[in-house]
Amino acid sequence: MKFFIDTADLNEIRDLAATGLVDGVTTNPSLIAKNGGDFIEVIKEICGIVSGPVSAECVATDHETMLKEGLYLAKIADNIAVKVPLTVDGLKTCKALSDDGIMVNVTLCFSAAQALLAAKAGAAFISPFVGRLDDIGHDGMQLIAEVVQIYSNYEFDTEVLVASIRNPLHVIDAAKMGADVATIPPSTLKQLFKHPLTDKGLDAFLKDWASTGQTIL
């Protein structure tokens, strides 16, 4: 499974990229607004930090303007994935961009039917939002299972990018289902490292080592 980080915080991206665990980055207008800075310049900097796909989102809602935005964003760097919403105009734009060899991430997916349409439109990534479905009493992970099965049935090239992840269990469940990518907030990615027995074991090792009075260097 690939790990993308869901942030526009350049310091967080640099820190996590240094672990070698980051395969890409997803951003959106809300994340850009939260962290401040010029949208285009922030995207350029992110593309210089990570070599994998960096999702940059269109803000227009009509096809003609969205396509212009997508073509402009795609020129920022070779690893840009243009992000469009799962609407009729969004999928028209997805088709046009993907036909031009540009990676497209179709976002705001909440049903298997929508995911099927995105794959047929040539999306490189489909972003089902599991946490937001959980928030309204639906089973977000069930949607992931359905999309993975449908894509497997027809051998679509579209990668299932699990979005709106709220906790480590979302990541593990998605991996068990065979999802291609998890886009994870930095705080949740850091939780994946944590286990009380790891901390306890390390503490015991360090105490035993200190009792020997030795050093390695």
Catalytic one of 83, 95, 190, 194: 83
Residue 67's φ and ψ, nearest 5 degrees, are: -65, -40
Do the Cβ atoms of 184 and 26 come closer than 8 Å?
A: no
CA distance 120 to 115: 9
Do the Cβ atoms of 12 and 5 come closer than 8 Å?
A: yes
Amino acid identity at 183: T
Q: Quick check: is 83 catalytic?
A: yes
| Structure tokens belonging to residue 214 | 């030795």
Do the Cβ atoms of 105 and 127 come closer than 8 Å?
A: yes
| E strands present in the chain | 2-6, 24-26, 54-57, 80-85, 103-109, 125-128, 159-162, 181-184
- Nearest of 42, 43, 115 to residue 74 by alpha carbon: 43
Core vs surface per residue 181-195: b (16+ CB within 10 A) or e: bbbbbbebbeeeeee
Active site residues: 83
